[in-house]
Amino acid sequence: MGLLLKIILFGVAVYAVWKTFSRWKGLFDRFVGKPEEPARPAPPPPPPPSEPLAARKVAIQETIQCAGCGAYNPAGAEKCGQCGRPQPRPN
Ligand SMILES: [Zn+2]
């Protein structure tokens, strides 16, 4: 009975080793020749394009500073939203 038990345990051990090997085989294939090197974390994604900055720049370009109170108003505004002073037209 002991021999049968040993055979069964051996089979289970081989099965476990094979499953583990199959699981990590993909990772080993990535690092052929350097199996001991830990997997590097994925490089951080490149910073997103400076869209907010560009949007802000456009917003600044399309605003006109009020000559009376210094508040920034849209270029198309007819009068200042802060003090009501008429704004000069872009053209
Ligand atoms: Zn104003």
Read off the pTM: 0.31
Rounded to the nearest angstrom, the distance between the alpha carbon of 62 and the centre of ligand 1 is: 16
C-alpha distances (whole Å) from 36 to each of 23, 31, 40, 67 are: 16, 8, 12, 69
Rounded to the nearest angstrom, the distance between the alpha carbon of 52 and the centre of ligand 1 is: 26
Rounded to the nearest angstrom, the distance between the alpha carbon of 2 and the centre of ligand 1 is: 97
Rounded to the nearest angstrom, the distance between the alpha carbon of 84 and the centre of ligand 1 is: 6
pLDDT tens series, the chain, 91 aa = 688 888 888 888 889 889 988 889 877 788 787 656 667 788 888 776 666 665 665 555 588 899 999 999 888 888 999 999 998 775 6
User: Would you list the domain boundaries of the chain?
Assistant: 1-31, 50-91
The secondary structure of 29-60 as a DSSP string is HHTTT-TTSPPPPPPPPPPPP-HHHHHHHHHH
Rounded to the nearest angstrom, the distance between the alpha carbon of 15 and the centre of ligand 1 is: 80
Position 48 scores a pLDDT of: 67
End-to-end Cα distance, the chain = 102
- Paired with 65 in beta bridges are 72
